[in-house]
Amino acid sequence: MTDHKKQRPVPTSRLGRVGRLGVLAGKLAGNVVTSGAEQWLKGNRPQLKDLVLTPSNITRITDQLATMRGAAMKVGQLLSMDAGDFLPKELADILGKLRDDADAMPKAQLQEVLDSEWGNDWNDDLLYFSFAPVAAASIGQVHKAITLEGRMLAIKIQYPGIKKSIDSDVNNVATLIKLAGVVPKTLDTQSLLNEAKTQLHQEADYQREAKMLSAYAANLEGSEHFVVPSLAPELTTMNVLAMDFTNGVSIDALIDAPQETRNTLMTALMTLFFDELFAFKLLQSDPNLANYLYQPDTAKIVLLDFGATRVIPDEIAQGYQALLIAAYHNDHEAMKSAALAIGLILPSHTTEQIDAVVSIGMLACEAIRADASYDFGESDLVTRLHDCGMALTYELNFWHTPPADAIFIHRKLGGLFLLAKRLKAQVDMKYAAGAWLADTDQ
């Protein structure tokens, strides 16, 4: 549930959206000139990023992008995935806020969208529809409805103009980020930006998400740990996605659950990750905590939002299984071969760079070699990985952008690590991955 204090129309025309960014850039430039002049008069020589990322400018950037929604909110996501730990705190804060801080559409604009998608008399076919959203994010917002048959639904409604604005939004906001001078020039941002466009076009296709939802649900039919809402295809269009409204509370509610409950459910989530990668070949790649709900009465986790679901190619799945097996056996040469096959490293990289990447891979998989349950609550693994990543980047000048599938796989696993630590869960990772380690001793 979300309490939105603001309701602001979504700018729908391309020129309108570009104009908003132009006005924002003009205001930032004016502030940079004014602040820079003041600093020079004081005898200081400030860096550009220090002039751009002032508290007032950060507020302007966040406020404007939250108003625009869509790709304007999400463009920083892939950049932060690959370089988030190396960006200034101020910029990282902007990217973090924009993931969850969207404004809601006014009722009149919402009505226009539904009239266009369902016809002018759509309200006659529903027993109840709440115009107050229960959630609002970058691509759309969610409303509760009840059909004439009494079925309670969650209706995900896309903001108007989002599809047409994706490419220009990504390009314009990327320019704004570059203006701050905080993204390393050696980082291949173009491939990340291209992937951001592809990903956002997929997320904005609700018919595709409907197919992903149904396919994913089929893989988990009869699950003792997970619930996936059922699709309502008769109300689903390219811009409206209808599914069962599934009750649950924030995943944070598990923090107060018994240790055994936390361990069981986190083990199930880790097992699910390996199944996604190696069995389903279907990865729900967004680890946002809002995509998980917990049902205290059934002790199950509700899985939401399949817009970022990726089909995993066979060669990527095979590469990661080889990498997993290498980690299990602590076989550095086998991990090097797997990393080369996946594209995590290249033959052109130096021996020192390759050895460092392999060492980080071994470190990331240390839990798979543990003889007992791995205590994520007591572990400082995330901190150690961060420190090693910083050293690899800055001391060894390693600014390699891996394949997009690898980025999303790492992002999902990293999100699970953070959730396990948040819940102070103890997970037998060897058990969780057991089905994919069965042939390792043959």
Residue 285 lies in a domain: yes
Q: Do 220 and 71 belong to one domain?
A: no
Count of structural domains, the chain: 3
In a domain, 188, yes or no: no
Q: Are residues 342 and 284 in the same domain?
A: yes
Last residue of a domain, one of 246, 278, 299: 246
Which of 246, 264, 299 is the endpoint of a domain? 246
Q: How far apart (Å, rounded) are the C-alpha atoms in residues 223 and 293?
A: 15
Tens of pLDDT, residue by residue, the chain (442 residues): 444 446 655 444 444 444 444 444 444 444 433 443 344 344 444 343 443 445 555 555 555 555 544 455 555 545 444 444 444 555 555 555 555 555 678 899 999 999 999 999 999 999 999 999 998 777 888 999 999 999 999 999 998 888 887 887 777 767 666 655 555 565 666 777 787 788 888 889 999 999 999 999 999 999 999 999 999 999 999 999 999 999 999 998 899 999 999 999 999 999 999 999 999 999 999 888 888 999 999 999 999 999 989 999 999 999 999 999 999 999 999 999 999 999 999 999 999 999 999 999 999 999 999 999 999 999 999 889 888 988 887 788 887 888 889 988 998 998 899 899 999 999 999 999 999 997 544 3
Residues 81 and 114 in one domain: no
Considering the domain architecture, whether residues 239 and 324 belong to the same structural domain is answered as no
In a domain? residue 259? yes
Rg (CA), the chain: 23
pLDDT at 75: 55
In the residue annotation, 286 being an active-site residue is answered as yes
Please tell me the pTM assigned to this model.
0.80
Domain of 22? 14-104+165-183
Shared domain for 306 and 336, answered yes or no, is yes
Active-site residue identified among 82, 286, 305, 405: 286
Rounded distance between C-alpha atoms, residue 196 and residue 190, angstroms: 10
Instruction: Judge if 24 and 42 occupy the same domain.
Output: yes
* Per-residue pLDDT at 74: 56
> Based on the domain organization, do 315 and 438 belong to the same domain?
yes
Locate the DSSP E strands across 207-308. 226-227, 240-244, 249-250, 282-284, 292-295, 300-303
- The span from the CA of 121 to the CA of 154, in Å, is 19
What local confidence, expressed as pLDDT, does residue 102 receive?
Answer: 59
pLDDT at 294: 95
In a domain, 5, yes or no: no
How far is the first Cα of the chain from the last one, in angstroms, to the nearest whole number?
Answer: 51
Give the pLDDT score at 269.
97
Q: Measuring CA to CA, which residue among 331, 418, 333, 337 is closest to residue 380?
A: 418
Same domain, 86 and 146: no
126 and 236 housed in the same domain:
yes
Same domain assignment for residues 436 and 399: yes
Residue 404 domain-assigned (yes or no): yes
End of a domain among 197, 219, 246? 246
**41 and 150 inside one domain:** no
Q: Is 191 exposed, middle or buried (0-12, 13-18, 19+ CB in 10 A)?
A: middle
- Same domain assignment for residues 121 and 98: no
